[in-house]
Structure 1
């Protein structure tokens, strides 16, 4: 069967690329090795984790915050099995939605492992071992990533687990040991901490969420400690063993002193690695980078093989669903002869703990390293009327602006609904707005977004009104 474009992988990057190609008039096919579409994000990543985060947040609020609102509950309990079942219902609804979109856009779906015979021929190997050959003018590789591990640590998927298994545990752990203080670990750690688990985080670096502005990491650490999580920063894991239902994790502190923790589950969250297994890249002369197994692309996201493109987690940059989506649209429009653009500095990062953490643009550490002249404006949520009403007083919004032009260079926030609020910063920065520009835009009162305006006022001649 002949196509204009074949997309390998149906995650956010792949399915968006396929839809945009179809919208632009190309005969399009998508290949997915699993029985459901949506990739890691919809099946074992973004969507199921947010479903569990919401469920656990409701319970935690009922247990700890409802009384402040005059709501009294007796014999409060949770049904963890129902939480997990609801999570799967959310996943099923989303993946079914992607299947509908494929039909709506007349995109052919082929289930099986797609691999290159040559740059214009893709072999699809189905689960029963049968094979089909598809021919195409262009190929978009969007095969995503999988959890990485430590070379000396064996993932048994029972007691030593990854984020995938953590989404479907048969019980709430008594003591969950997390290796890694990044986004994925902290999100799932907070799920189980809210449900009563003891959660211990072992992090090699001297702070959590180390790729984000240091001020965010410090504030989130303070909040998560208040919620009962414990942290071992500047510690290096040396091993993990399982005996029966008990996991023992050994690690060294900064002085090289040996320590150990015992728990019933250990989750390894030390990042992700590009998934390129089975693609047959060698058949078209493509190799992957040693570190991270990523595919090299040019400014048009085209590989060294003309007509073969790659997007999302298999190429350089942050492993984010919305980055992959942007790249999927970008490549489709490049193939169609258009001239799209992506500003990678303006792709936001989010941590869905509570309070939420979100950021876009340069961190203060990066600006210092560049020797840039900048000014800082910050506004705490404890001074926000809306946050005071909802009881969400932790966190702040921090705005970094050019000292001379006032152009916004970075926005970093931790607080209620930060994941949604960061969009205002992205739009402002996409249009190269100044902090003054944001202060002149009316913000509804009372809203959390007023904190963004106040932070911009603070960056503009220290004119914040409510602090």
Structure 2
């Protein structure tokens, strides 16, 4: 029987990064993956393919505004959806191959099959042909991720009533795509097909899209996406989803009890994701799950079995690839006797629509609920020279700082390149910077990053220069 210091079950961003860090620290390491490619949901059917399609369709959208830049295109722009999806798959294949290379480079043994516990130190690996291989693990890291959730009354046929996985490889551009759920996944994929000419309707149970993010951010993105042509039905509870041939009917009830019925050719169910532990046999190893199906862990991400840890989407907290990576590194370093730490308040959240959304720290709603006294500084992109030069004037940067100490408590932004700009906010908050600190730092001109400086100036005695 093969024996390892650490066995990681699952090869998503959390799993493979954890395996690499374990190997770097001198542990004999193995990774178990049920699919034939490494990388998990993120690389195969999540972050990477969705960003590839968003990038491709962003180019399509930009052609509509070429004339304002003095660029003329002869004839209509034609989109080859099959070619676009083929490129997306090539990006995925290259990225997954990169992970395989990293496994080889770091001398990590890779097993293909379903990993399940026989006991706390013994793991069975069931391969596609039914053969079972058994390995022994001194420590195990569960990194099995998540799967798309649905509603109890919805039958996912994966043809017309689909999840994000199917939405990444549709055979045609929908005439009318109905999206159930106004979160990150629904909005990103909705914008992909909106740009390609689909009518897109979003049905959301909460009173606004992106309900967990700052209210001002949600309001701004709603305004922009409506301008682009997306329709929203917030405060609507879905009652039924029925397919009749190539038509899908979605019935939803509003606050007044009135039923709205939408008809489309595709319905994307994007109501979140659930922890995935199917086939793990966690109970055989003494690993407890909670009522939400998550693996219960302590502050060191240790499960109820002392030698077994769990990270990423399968445990509490935001389901984010970079959060999973940080947890994977933390467990590896903890096993090596180090004292790593994660500040979950400083894990940024990003929405890759255009304009992009990014945030870190507390929202204004959270500060109000906690009774924290704060001050606010905001700066619109339309007042930014670089934004006007690039014709990307939608959005703003908003900084929340402690009223008494000026320490930054949260930074929220909507706008071009927000996904990259948020890194400055994370660094500032990691070092407990004040709004005054950022306000006094030189920012290159003209750049989008100047909006952060201006928002910091606005939060510091309302000193913004360019508004």
The normalised TM-score by structure 1 is 0.99
Match of 2:137, SS? strand
Question: What aligned pairs does 1:333-344 form with structure 2 within 5 A after superposition?
Answer: 333-344=333-344
CA deviation after TM superposition for structure 1 residue 444, in Å: 0.7
Question: What aligned pairs does 1:320-331 form with structure 2 within 5 A after superposition?
Answer: 320-331=320-331
Aligned equivalents of 2:66, 2:436: Cα separation in 1: 39
Partner of 2:419: 419
Question: What aligned pairs does 1:437-456 form with structure 2 within 5 A after superposition?
Answer: 437-456=437-456
CA deviation after TM superposition for structure 1 residue 286, in Å: 2.3
CA deviation after TM superposition for structure 1 residue 46, in Å: 0.2
CA deviation after TM superposition for structure 1 residue 389, in Å: 0.3
CA deviation after TM superposition for structure 1 residue 225, in Å: 0.3
Partner of 1:436: 436
Partner of 2:77: 76
- CA displacement 1:137-170 (0-9 Å, x = unmatched): 1000000000000001111000000000000000
- CA displacement 1:178-223 (0-9 Å, x = unmatched): 0000000000000000110000000000000000000000000000
Partner of 2:252: 251
Partner of 2:350: 350
Question: What aligned pairs does 1:37-48 form with structure 2 within 5 A after superposition?
Answer: 37-48=38-49
- CA displacement 1:369-410 (0-9 Å, x = unmatched): 111111000000000000000000110000000111110000
Match of 2:318, SS? coil
Partner of 1:176: 177
Deviates more, 1:437-446 or 1:33-42: 437-446
Aligned equivalents of 1:138, 1:40: Cα separation in 2: 24
Partner of 1:218: 219
* 1:230 matches 2:231: yes
CA deviation after TM superposition for structure 1 residue 243, in Å: 1.2
Partner of 1:143: 144
Partner of 2:396: 396
Partner of 2:135: 134
Aligned equivalents of 1:375, 1:145: Cα separation in 2: 38
Partner of 2:289: 288
Aligned equivalents of 1:201, 1:76: Cα separation in 2: 27
Aligned equivalents of 1:6, 1:337: Cα separation in 2: 18
Aligned equivalents of 2:133, 2:117: Cα separation in 1: 12
Question: What aligned pairs does 1:87-102 form with structure 2 within 5 A after superposition?
Answer: 87-102=88-103
Aligned equivalents of 1:413, 1:366: Cα separation in 2: 16
Match of 1:238, SS? strand
* 1:66 matches 2:66: yes
- Detail structure 1 runs of 4+ shifted over 6 Å in the superposition: none
Match of 1:456, SS? helix
Aligned equivalents of 1:66, 1:93: Cα separation in 2: 32
CA deviation after TM superposition for structure 1 residue 10, in Å: 0.1
Aligned equivalents of 1:126, 1:381: Cα separation in 2: 53
- CA displacement 1:250-304 (0-9 Å, x = unmatched): 111111111201000000000000000000111122232222x101100100001
Partner of 2:386: 386
CA deviation after TM superposition for structure 1 residue 244, in Å: 1.1
Where do 5+ consecutive residues of structure 2 fail to align? none
Partner of 2:206: 205
Match of 2:118, SS? strand
- CA displacement 1:313-336 (0-9 Å, x = unmatched): 000000000000000000000000
Aligned equivalents of 2:362, 2:264: Cα separation in 1: 38
CA deviation after TM superposition for structure 1 residue 136, in Å: 1.2
Match of 1:118, SS? coil
Deviates more, 1:183-192 or 1:278-287: 278-287
Where do 5+ consecutive residues of structure 1 fail to align? none
Match of 1:419, SS? helix
Partner of 2:243: 242
Match of 1:204, SS? coil
Aligned equivalents of 2:249, 2:401: Cα separation in 1: 47
Q: Give the RMSD, CA atoms, in angstroms.
A: 0.6
Aligned equivalents of 1:241, 1:460: Cα separation in 2: 54
Number of residue pairs aligned between Structure 1 and Structure 2: 465
Report if aligned partners of 2:120, 2:286 keep a CA contact under 8 Å in 1: no
Match of 1:177, SS? strand
- CA displacement 1:342-372 (0-9 Å, x = unmatched): 0000000000000000000000000001111
CA deviation after TM superposition for structure 1 residue 440, in Å: 1.6
Aligned equivalents of 2:273, 2:77: Cα separation in 1: 37
Partner of 2:118: 117
Aligned equivalents of 2:197, 2:465: Cα separation in 1: 40
Report if aligned partners of 2:288, 2:304 keep a CA contact under 8 Å in 1: no
Aligned equivalents of 1:21, 1:284: Cα separation in 2: 22
Aligned equivalents of 2:143, 2:65: Cα separation in 1: 43
Partner of 1:161: 162
Report if aligned partners of 2:32, 2:112 keep a CA contact under 8 Å in 1: yes
